[in-house]
Amino acid sequence: MNGIPTNLARLSRVMAWLSTAGFFITPAVLTYIFLEPDKSHWLMLNVDHMGDLLYGTIPPQYRMLALASAMIPAGFNMWALWSLRRLFLLYAQGAVFSAGAMRALNAVAIALFAGEIVSVFAQAPMSLALTWANGPHHREICLSFGSEDVAALFMAGVVLVIARVMAEARRMADENAAFV
């Protein structure tokens, strides 16, 4: 199997499948949360820190505006999941240090990092939409940045550095192979 251990190939295929599932589940769950906020509390999700503002008595058109804002950072997460899928499929084929694997890992890092930044700013239109029906002087524009956000940015940064280190290692290996 191109020099990759069978257990690593199998694990990579499982992770590719889970990434694919996450790609499709993410928008479905997010849509469910905004369409049925009172029924979706069992999920125990706090969509971009909006948990206190999202409830079923908000008119549907405002929930849909908030959903549209929430889909922007979700789109970055979906990009990261799809890139992970590609990466794991390449790993399963033994193409661990291939140019495609490096591009996929880099895409994961960029998507995670950008998605986290966008999610902080997406809170403003989401909170405004969710409080619009409250009327003048009772609307809110919220932004929050907590330890979860810091951890997510840090992890995205780590993945980005690892992607760059692996790309540099591959470049050096190719350069050394050319000298032989």
Give a three-class secondary structure readout of 68-81.
Answer: HHHHHHHHHHHHHH
Report how many domains make up the chain.
1
Judge whether 180 lies within some domain: no
Q: Which domain, by its residues, includes 62?
A: 6-173
Judge whether 139 lies within some domain: yes
Distance CA(116)–CA(146), nearest Å, equals 11
Mean pLDDT of the chain: 88
Average pLDDT on 130-152 reads 87
Q: What confidence tens digit (pLDDT) does each residue in 116-137 have?
A: 999 989 989 998 999 998 888 8
Q: What confidence tens digit (pLDDT) does each residue in 16-67 have?
A: 999 999 999 999 999 998 998 888 777 756 665 566 677 778 899 999 999 9
In order of 21, 115, 130, 137, the CA distances from 134 in angstroms are 37, 29, 9, 8
Judge whether 1 lies within some domain: no
The pLDDT, as a whole number, for residue 22 is 96
Judge whether 130 lies within some domain: yes
Judge whether 10 lies within some domain: yes
Distance CA(60)–CA(128), nearest Å, equals 14
Contact residues for 23 (Cβ-Cβ < 8 A; gap 6+): 78, 81, 82, 85
Specify the pTM: 0.85
The pLDDT, as a whole number, for residue 1 is 45
Distance CA(121)–CA(144), nearest Å, equals 9
Judge whether 107 lies within some domain: yes
In order of 25, 169, 179, the CA distances from 172 in angstroms are 39, 5, 11
Judge whether 179 lies within some domain: no
Judge whether 46 lies within some domain: yes
Q: What confidence tens digit (pLDDT) does each residue in 71-129 have?
A: 999 999 999 999 999 999 999 999 888 889 999 999 999 999 999 999 989 989 998 99
Query: Residue 58: phi, psi to the nearest 5?
Result: -70, 130
